[in-house]
Amino acid sequence: MKNMKIPQIAIFLSIVLSVYALVNLFLFYQTRPVFSLASIGTWLKFVFWFIVLAYPFGRILEAILGGQIPTLLVKVGSIWLAFMLYLTLFFLLFQLASPLINWLLKIDIKSSLETHRMVVGMLYFATLTVILAGYIYAINPKINQLKIESSKPIPGGGLTIAMVSDIHLGTIIGKNELTKLVDKINSQKPDIVLFVGDIFDEDIAPVVNGQMGEQFERINAKYGVFAVTGNHEFFSNHRAKIEYLQKHGVNVLNDTVAEVANINIVGRYDRQSNFALGQSRKTLSELAKDIDQSKFTVVLDHQPFNLNESVESGADLQLSGHTHHGQMWPLNYITQAVYEVSMGYKKIGNTHIYVSPGYGTWGPRVRLGNRPEIAVIRIKDKGLVDS
């Protein structure tokens, strides 16, 4: 398994970089009318390719050198990722619609260079408008309330869980955002706080250098703070990330079970651990075989695959993230096709499933079609409710 890890990563990166290159060559080709401007065309070409290369080179330099320049490149380049998506969609729509427009206006839009330039400018402006709207969505998280009744005894008759996934702390989402997150969590007065993976983005250095761990220590929760790994924890130095969280008061469950306040919390390694650790993670049946099934059981599993495992193991609640619900429309149609639950609540048998779209973002600080959230899950003892 370990020998397979490097080839698999190399294949994955080759595919990603190939797609990245092809999309940007398409956008460059579509933007040519503007690049032909006599006075500034050459400079615009330089700016275009600088922005295109900013993200991949920024990530490489960030891992090797660190510092402010790679950070700036990553931030600039991440925004371009959103531009890539919507510019591509707008240009494709223009190509499809141009015959109809030509017929309606009785002109050939592309035959006039000035008209063609104007159309290109309008498409870039439309993209900028969409991305600004998506940025506003991304920086305004909501509190999503969910109520669940349990036939199993709940301590005090009720339990409030604050659940957060996919913060992606690092270069783009930093200490200020984490401070606001902790304030919002504390405002809900949770009994337990659960972080369901992808707490970190990629490199741990920006988190350590920014002393972000202190914010985790400010969380007020009667029964503590627990977390599991996500796939991003395994992108580099996962042990350092786990140790950092534990150092700052977060109990990380790595294929282990904790019993807290008369409930079971089953924390699974992320699926990515199969490649990173060179061995398969434990099955849910293995983790659940020795727990007291008369107690309410929560399963934390970052990626919402194989939901039937939680149902078959007798779990009462599974919490997941990972999908971001596509993060930017229309990518949500892909996550809906891949996952049984891309976002939100579903009950399968006696098991409640909740998949959060996450608190942060990967790449651009842009969301369209969903808002970031903190999920507040209030579990009530059904026996007390009925009485």
- Nearest Cα residue to 24 out of 66, 52, 54, 60: 52
| Domain limit, last residue, from 120, 137, 154 | 137
Quickly list DSSP for 51-110.
HHHHHHHHHHHHHHT-SHHHHHHHHHHHHHHHHHHHHHHHHHHHHHHHHHHHHHHTS-GG
Residue reference for tokens 């919507």: 86
Which secondary structure element, helix H or strand E, spans residue 243, and what is its range? helix 238-247
Who's near 200: CB < 8 A, 6+ residues apart?
Answer: 167, 168, 169, 170, 207, 232, 233, 241
Residues 159 and 118 in one domain: no
Residues 108 and 255 in one domain: no
Residues 82 and 192 in one domain: no
- Structural domain count, the chain: 2
Residue 359 belongs to a domain with what CATH number? 3.60.21.10
Are 62 and 235 in contact, with CB atoms under 8 Å apart? no
What is the C-alpha separation between 178 and 188, in angstroms, rounded?
16
| Domain limit, last residue, from 115, 137, 159 | 137
pLDDT for residue 385 is more than 60: no
Owning domain of residue 154: 143-386
Eight-state DSSP code of residue 318: E
- Nearest Cα residue to 230 out of 305, 292, 175, 171: 305
Residues 85 and 153 in one domain: no
What is the C-alpha separation between 346 and 353, in angstroms, rounded?
5
Are 173 and 361 in contact, with CB atoms under 8 Å apart? yes
Residues 338 and 382 in one domain: yes
Lowest model confidence (mean pLDDT) among 25-29, 75-79, 103-107: 103-107
Residues 249 and 126 in one domain: no
Residues 70 and 177 in one domain: no
Residues 173 and 271 in one domain: yes
**pLDDT, tens only, 236-292:** 889 999 999 999 999 999 999 999 988 999 999 999 888 878 888 999 999 999 899
pTM of the model: 0.90
Residues 71 and 101 in one domain: yes
Residues 160 and 129 in one domain: no
Residue 234's SS3 state is: helix
**pLDDT, tens only, 311-325:** 999 999 999 999 999
Residues 176 and 315 in one domain: yes
Residues 178 and 93 in one domain: no
| Domain limit, last residue, from 113, 137, 161 | 137
What is the C-alpha separation between 126 and 333, in angstroms, rounded?
22
Lowest model confidence (mean pLDDT) among 42-56, 88-102, 167-181, 209-223: 88-102
